[in-house]
Structure 1
Amino acid sequence: MNKQDKPLARKEAGRPAEPRSEAGAVDAFVKQAKALRTVSGLARGRLVLALDATMSRQPTWDLACRLQGEMFQAAGKSGKLRVQLVYFRGFGECRASKFVLDTEELTRLMTRIDCRGGRTQIGKVLSHALKENERGKIDALVFIGDAMEENVDELADQAGRLGLRGVPVFVFQEGHDGAAEIALKEIARLSRGAWFRFDRAAAGRLAELLSAIAVYATGGFAALEARGSAGDRLLIEHMGKGR
């Protein structure tokens, strides 16, 4: 079919066909209204943002700080997404902030953190999420890191328990550590989340994905499907692979 052979709009009994352009505009409006209703409705999402703050992450720490701001641009401004910052670094240091609604406050928290040498503590992050979920529903856990130096089976067990409780883990891995990739992908799969590469050269794509996760945390798959951005569709696709 060439451009001139467009299908005719279907007619309803007793009514003339609606112009195709007008019908498309109505469809777009309805889709946008559904997204706004889902994201800005009564639901309140709670998301844990966990960061590896060991020394190897120093080169991209500023990028992570900037992206988290863009992450909540869609859902955060609605005042419906509460975010808790968790980070580990140094010798056994693993800290968690309170849940905040103000994304600028979260940025201030992150910019006060400096990276320090130490081993990974992903197990503490997953354990914390399990305990936090008992106090109040956690809708998603985002983890950004580049290494894994722990017992994989123990991490897998914790990830599986998060999955059973409806807490997907969205992992963004920096670098190409093979052992870490295997473990982090398994954490994402068992928790029914998704794994992505944290690539500083693709900051725009990362921002879209993080924004999609924020939308998911406030309204689930319905909100993603209603908004329908490229990042939303990619997140749905990747989460579907682990289901």
Structure 2
Amino acid sequence: METTVEKLEAMFQKSEADLDYIEKRLKLDFANNAAENGSAPEENPVVLLENLMAIKARYTALCSEVKEIAAAQKESVDSIRQNLNSVMQLIQQVQQTADVEVPPLSELEQQAAELLGAAGSPSTAEVAPPTAASSQQPPPSCATGDFEDLSEAMLEAVPVSIRGDVTLADLNTFYRQLQQHFSTTKSGSLSVQKMKQLNMSVSEAKLKTLQHLALLTLDRKGCVHLPTPGPC
């Protein structure tokens, strides 16, 4: 594309130079011969010069249009390349955080990706589903006041779309607060409003994370229930 544009520009520059030379030559001939020889109206050098000037202006306009088209095409290709790279990265993130199998690119799509310089096609291997939370959950302790903290592996098993930016330390703090409350009271449920009154570090992401790990349940009213431990 760039080579073609350069050739066209060279042709236009040569045409402009030729037109300038013809214009000067005609003016010189007209000045020398106008007084000696009569000319027919259609052969008047002035008319010819006007036509040449119009042609020259048209060549200049065409040259500008070619440059604008080349610039617009380059901008479009760059935009498509950026969007394609963003889509590739998004697909890779989805594969890493969800149990999704993305079909491989077709031959035509692969050629387009290579032509646009994409970062590379996403892996088509199916992402292994997260390990069941129940198998990772430590057995509840029977001793009063002795609470098991959650592990980093348990937190990472929860999809990012559920846990958000919850940290392990904050989640363990909130989980201990829940266990302490239910171990010292006879209430079987606890509302979010009551948690806030008790100054618990409650958040929707923490509740959903613990629910995903099967460490608590939420009823229709949004109240929290902890699973009843079995006999020791």
Q: TM-score, normalised by structure 1?
A: 0.22
Structure 1 or 2: more strand by fraction: 1
Q: Which has the larger radius of gyration?
A: 2
**Larger RCO (alpha carbons 8 Å, 6+ apart):** 1
Q: TM-score, normalised by structure 2?
A: 0.23
Structure 1 or 2: more helix by fraction: 2
